[in-house]
Amino acid sequence: MRHTRDDRVELALARPVRGLAEAQHLPGGTAWEPKWDGMRVLALADGPATALRSRHGEDVTRAFPEVVAAIAGSVPAGTVLDGELAVRRSGRLDLAALQDRLAARGPAAPAEYLAFDLLRREHVDVRELPFLERRMALEELAGPWTAPLVLSPVTGDVEVAARWFRDLAGTGVDGLVAKGLDQPYRGGARDWCKVKHRSVVDLVATAVTGPVEQPEALLLALPVGDELVPVGRSRPVGAVAGLALGRVLAPASPPDIPPGPASTVATAIAPLVVEVSADVRWSRGALVGPAQFLRARPELHPTEVDPEPGAAARG
């Protein structure tokens, strides 16, 4: 099967679980990988026509020329990789620096591509193969790679996975992904599992207090069916974080918001996924206390937010 720059490939997804124990018995046994703090990207290797595609199909090729050049020179044409684009600063992954690369703001921080799955190899579709076989083929491909191409590590040892979960938390790794060794790559299916660090969840910001260019606080919601249902608000964002957040906010169209908990006049915004630290116990459908804003996640769509984040966050 040949691919072109215009191919749309649906990505495999992960469902949240409370802890490592819930993902220990996936089909064929469980393989554990770090959950990188970057941007999920498909790499379509095709020599000078090599392309990078975000999880929603956007072409991000021009923003990362060093990664594209490395893939074009080291990965056979007709190969499709699934992985994460990331920027590393001071020993940890820096999503804000990655987002600056996408927006062409400021000096370009070097990026890397962490490959964790193989979908096609030299025009041959391998998605129906079990993960163990895809991983072995990926490791064979990655043998001669050098930076900025990186083979994402994997382990079948749950004790090693537990150490990763504990020790990598301060390096920009926000949890683990678990895959069944016998599982094929099923685009759109949540066959994989993800374990995120406690109390860190994704919610949807639907409005702000203060100016949109430098918001003071966020009104938060969860997707329930086709609606965004208000669940609470954030603590004050802070001046510096507010300025950075304002760069990725956009006014709502039409400019209205669903009713919800708010003590001040709010301005509606286009729904934006944000990562927060929160007490995810519920009181009559709302958060218990305000959430602490951590970062924007513009690479995610609101429909990708777990409508029941509490279960995953408590693991």
Closest to 261 measured CA to CA, from 232, 235, 221, 236: 232
Q: What are 249's two structure tokens?
A: 């906010």
Phi–psi pair at 303, nearest 5 degrees: -70, -15
35 carries an active-site annotation: yes
What is the Cα–Cα distance from 135 to 130, expressed in whole angstroms? 9
Say how many residues make up the chain: 315
E strands along the chain, which residues? 14-16, 30-36, 39-45, 51-54, 79-89, 92-93, 111-121, 124-125, 149-151, 173-180, 192-196, 200-209, 217-224, 227-233, 267-277, 282-283, 286-287, 292-296
Cβ-contact 66, 207 below 8 angstroms: no
The catalytic residue positions are 35
